[in-house]
Structure 1
Amino acid sequence: MPAYKRVLVAIDLTEEAPQVLDKAKAVCEAHHAELMLMHVVEPVGYAYGGDIPMDLSELQDQLDKAAREQLHTYGSRYGVAAERQVVTVGRPESEIHRVSQEFGVDLVVVGSHGRKGFQLLLGSTANGVLHGTECDVLAVRIH
Structure 2
Amino acid sequence: MSSKKRVLVGLDLTEEASQVLDKAAEIGKAFDAELDLIHVIEPLTFAYGGDIPMDLSEVQEQLQKQASEQLRKAGEQLGVDADHQHVVLGQPATEIHRLAKEQDTDLIIIGSHGRHGLSLLLGSTANGVLHGAGCDVLAVRVKE
TM range, normalised to the smaller chain?
Answer: over 0.9
Q: Deviations over 1:79-122 (max 9, x none)?
A: 11100000100110000000100111110000001123553343
Tell me, what secondary structure is at the counterpart of 1:86?
strand
Contact 1:121 1:127 in 2 (8 A): no
State how 1:125-140 maps to structure 2 within 5 Å. 125-140=125-140
The AA in structure 2 aligned to 1:122 is L
Q: Distance in 1 between matches of 2:3 and 2:93?
A: 24
Asked if 1:75 corresponds to 2:75, the answer is yes
Look up the match of 2:11.
Answer: 11
Look up the match of 2:41.
Answer: 41
Look up the match of 2:21.
Answer: 21
Asked if 1:99 corresponds to 2:96, the answer is no
Asked if 1:112 corresponds to 2:115, the answer is no
Q: What residue ranges of structure 2 are gaps of 5+ in the alignment?
A: none
Q: Distance in 1 between matches of 2:57 and 2:132?
A: 30
Indicate the percent of aligned positions where both proteins have the same amino acid: 62
Change in CA separation of 1:32 and 1:121 when aligned onto 2, cut-off 3 Å: farther
The AA in structure 2 aligned to 1:130 is L
The AA in structure 2 aligned to 1:119 is S
Which is further off, 42-51 or 127-136?
42-51
Q: Deviations over 1:51-92 (max 9, x none)?
A: 012211111111111110110011111111100000100110
The AA in structure 2 aligned to 1:38 is I
Q: Distance in 1 between matches of 2:29 and 2:121?
A: 32
Aligned residues: 143
Q: Distance in 2 between matches of 1:74 and 1:137?
A: 20
- Which portions of structure 1, spanning 4 or more consecutive aligned residues, are displaced by more than 6 angstroms? none
